[in-house]
């Protein structure tokens, strides 16, 4: 048998989890989420966006975003990710069976970080709708499946171990410390009910608020938090071609749900609202939007003596939105599916035979438990996983005609050691040209907790949009450390413009106007 580059228990579990995570998950859809024609996709950024939208009815059929980022390894292959996806790699980089050849030297390694992380995220948005009730309010029904793997706090030697395995002189016969490292794997479904209401409509000043209440159902969770420990790698005395990972000391906590928790999942309300899932919970999004509208007369008309707005038009010079998203958690407490442990162990060895030929996640945890003495008898049958709580602040400026520029700040509010899904922080600026049926946008962003600069492109043609916030990853620009791709398909039914607008402008009603951030009129 050839040398087995066998991993530590973290590496084995990590590799298995990545391969089982349904291709893994999302950032902010920067090229589309700030648009006035993004429909339900803007509600995920701020539920206040529901009301006074450009749609009478918007039906999302399907939309998805796949996002990957890390600060350890960049893509340095002689072919691009785009060539890989389109199977257009040159014969020089293929083997005799026409398979793609990838070497360890095709990684550009960053050795200068204090610690290393990986975020793999997937956001699948299912059938959803937005419906405008009247001139003041709107409702929405949202469905979604979110999966994520967040790995953080890894020292350089652990990152090297994951990439190279144990059979390398770089790691042998040395002692390495590891502390405050965490791995979180999450998958859950959510059903959201949104409502938005206009609070103030005083010519120049316009304010709307929104709320989304979400029922969440856990599909799968695995979590490991290492508080303190050290380990070393030595050759196996019984077979020098193989290695042993010796854990000298480890203080940690970990938990997981069984694979059957997602294999038995179904779309029935009995499963979603009952006790058949591994866990469930509630979440909430809260948002407010202020718009400054200095030229309201251009959008007003009278119908049967009543002043109305042209709901088919954008009316602001600029708008500011603030939202706190995903407040809440999932309580995994089904004893048929859930296990967790706190451990404090010394002098534990993992040989290659302990981790070879692992079949599935349950088998991986079973073998880890055997080494650590973790049993059903000393386990806790519950743990709580937080939702990816984040603060979002959005600024959108109408430059002229159909040209806009959007700024978005996303700050994740979950700590690195917390159990549950985490949203990487980001800061972006996105110029765009938008019209009713056609739109193009070019986001520029600091992603992955402000560590990675990217640029992207997105386009919308009627009911279809596609985009990426990391175009450089597809073009092999500057050793990309991640990638991103999103798309969507919808049925848009637009709000109708007035059929017989009254040419006479209405008289402005008396009232106190909001004075902040106003331009002086000549």
Q: What is the DSSP string of 226-267?
A: EEEEEEEEEEETTEEEEEEEEEEEEEEEEEEE-THHHHT--S
CA 250 to chain centre: 31
For the record, the structure tokens of 355 come out as 């981790």
d(CA 39, CA 366): 45
Instruction: Decide if 125 contacts 143 (C-beta within 8 A).
Output: yes
pLDDT value at residue 298? 81
Query: Tens digit of pLDDT per residue, the chain (522 long)?
Result: 333 333 333 333 333 333 333 333 345 799 999 999 999 999 999 999 999 999 999 999 999 999 888 999 999 999 988 888 888 999 999 999 888 998 888 889 999 999 999 988 899 999 999 999 999 999 999 999 999 998 999 999 999 888 888 888 788 888 999 988 999 999 999 999 999 999 999 889 999 999 999 999 999 999 999 999 999 999 988 887 889 999 999 999 999 999 998 888 887 777 777 678 999 999 999 999 999 999 877 887 776 667 777 888 999 999 999 999 999 999 999 999 999 999 999 999 998 888 888 888 899 999 999 999 999 999 999 999 999 999 999 999 999 999 999 999 999 998 878 898 888 899 999 999 999 999 999 999 998 888 889 999 999 999 999 999 999 989 888 888 888 999 999 999 999 887 765 544 444 444 444 444 444 444
User: Which runs of consecutive H residues, i.e. helices, occur in 457-509?
Assistant: 471-475
SS3 category, 362: helix
Fold classification of 21-72+110-494 (topology level) = Porin (2.40.160)
Backbone dihedral region for residue 136 (phi beyond 0: left; psi -120 to 50: alpha; all else: beta): alpha
Instruction: Decide if 458 contacts 23 (C-beta within 8 A).
Output: no
Residue ranges per domain, the chain?
21-72+110-494
Strands (E), 24-115: 55-70, 73-75, 107-109
pLDDT value at residue 255? 95
Nearest by Cα to 481 from 110, 49, 79, 95: 110
Using the CB atoms, write b or e for 85-109: b if 16+ within 10 Å. Answer: eeeebeeebeeeeeeeeeeeeebeb
Positive or negative, the CA dihedral 82, 86, 90, 94 is positive
Locate tokens 């290393």: which residue?
Answer: 116
- Which residues, listed in sequence order, are joined to residue 207 by a DSSP beta bridge? 200, 290
Quote the pTM value: 0.86
pLDDT value at residue 2? 33
pLDDT value at residue 500? 62
Nearest by Cα to 162 from 245, 241, 221, 99: 245
Angle, CA 331 vertex, CA 327 and CA 334 arms, to 5°: 160
For the record, the structure tokens of 218 come out as 């856990």
Contacts 24+ apart (CB under 8 A), 300-304: 300/505, 300/506, 301/498, 301/501, 301/502, 302/502, 302/504, 302/506, 303/498, 303/500, 303/502
Measured CA distances, 274 to 126, 188, 220, 260, 330 (Å): 21, 15, 16, 16, 14
- Which residues, listed in sequence order, are joined to residue 454 by a DSSP beta bridge? 445
For the record, the structure tokens of 349 come out as 């060895």
* Phi and psi, residue 11, nearest 5°: -65, -45
d(CA 407, CA 424): 17
Measured CA distances, 41 to 47, 327, 479 (Å): 10, 19, 31
d(CA 184, CA 420): 6
pLDDT value at residue 226? 94
Q: Give the other-Cβ count within 10 Å of 286's Cβ.
A: 16
335, burial (CB in 10 Å: exposed 0-12, middle 13-18, buried 19+) = exposed
pLDDT value at residue 505? 46
pLDDT value at residue 357? 85
pLDDT value at residue 3? 34
């Amino acid at each position: 048998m050839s040398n087995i580059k066998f991993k530590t228990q973290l590496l084995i579990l990590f590799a298995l989890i990545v391969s089982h995570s349904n291709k893994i998950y999302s950032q902010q859809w920067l090229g589309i989420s700030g648009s006035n024609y993004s429909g339900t996709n803007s509600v995920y950024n701020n539920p206040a966006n529901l009301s006074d939208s450009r749609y009478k009815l918007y039906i999302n059929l399907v939309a998805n975003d796949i996002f990957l980022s890390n600060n350890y390894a960049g893509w340095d292959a002689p072919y691009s990710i785009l060539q890989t996806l389109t199977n257009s790699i040159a014969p020089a980089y293929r083997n005799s069976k026409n398979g793609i050849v990838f070497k360890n030297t095709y990684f550009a390694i960053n050795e200068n970080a204090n610690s290393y992380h990986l975020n793999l995220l997937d956001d699948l948005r299912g059938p959803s709708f937005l419906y405008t009730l009247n001139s003041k309010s709107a409702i929405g029904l949202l469905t979604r499946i979110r999966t994520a793997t967040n790995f953080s706090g890894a020292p350089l030697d652990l990152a090297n171990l994951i990439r190279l395995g144990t059979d390398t002189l770089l790691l042998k016969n040395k002692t390495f410390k590891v502390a405050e490292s965490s791995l979180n794997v999450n998958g859950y479904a959510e059903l959201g009910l949104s409502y938005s209401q206009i609070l103030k409509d005083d010519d120049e000043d316009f304010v709307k608020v929104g709320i989304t209440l979400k029922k969440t159902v856990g599909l799968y969770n695995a979590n490991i938090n290492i508080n303190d420990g050290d380990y070393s790698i030595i050759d196996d005395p019984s077979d020098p071609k193989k290695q042993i990972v010796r854990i000298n000391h480890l203080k940690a906590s970990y938990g997981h749900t069984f694979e059957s928790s997602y294999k038995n999942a179904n779309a029935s309300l009995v499963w979603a609202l009952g006790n058949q899932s591994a866990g469930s919970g509630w979440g909430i999004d809260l948002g407010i939007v202020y718009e400054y509208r200095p030229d309201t007369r251009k959008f007003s008309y009278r119908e049967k003596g009543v002043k109305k707005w042209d709901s088919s038009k954008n009316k602001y010079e600029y708008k500011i939105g603030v939202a706190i998203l995903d407040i809440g958690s999932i309580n995994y407490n089904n004893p048929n599916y859930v296990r967790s442990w706190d451990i404090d162990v010394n002098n534990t060895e993992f040989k290659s035979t302990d981790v070879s030929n692992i079949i599935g996640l349950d088998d991986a945890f079973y073998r880890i438990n055997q080494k650590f003495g973790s049993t059903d008898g000393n386990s806790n049958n519950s743990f709580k996983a937080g939702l990816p709580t984040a603060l979002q602040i959005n600024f959108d400026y109408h430059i002229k005609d159909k040209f806009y520029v959007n700024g978005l700040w996303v700050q994740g509010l979950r700590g690195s050691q917390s159990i549950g899904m985490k949203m990487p922080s980001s800061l972006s600026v996105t110029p765009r040209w938008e019209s009713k049926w056609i739109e193009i946008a070019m986001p520029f962003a600091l992603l992955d907790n402000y560590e990675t600069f990217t640029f992207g492109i997105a386009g919308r043609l009627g009911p279809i949009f596609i985009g990426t916030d990391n175009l450089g990853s597809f073009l092999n620009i500057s050793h990309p450390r991640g990638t991103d791709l999103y798309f969507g398909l919808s049925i848009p039914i637009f709000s109708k413009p007035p059929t017989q607008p009254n040419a006479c402008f209405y008289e402005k009603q008396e009232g106190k106007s909001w004075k902040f951030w106003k331009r002086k009129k000549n």
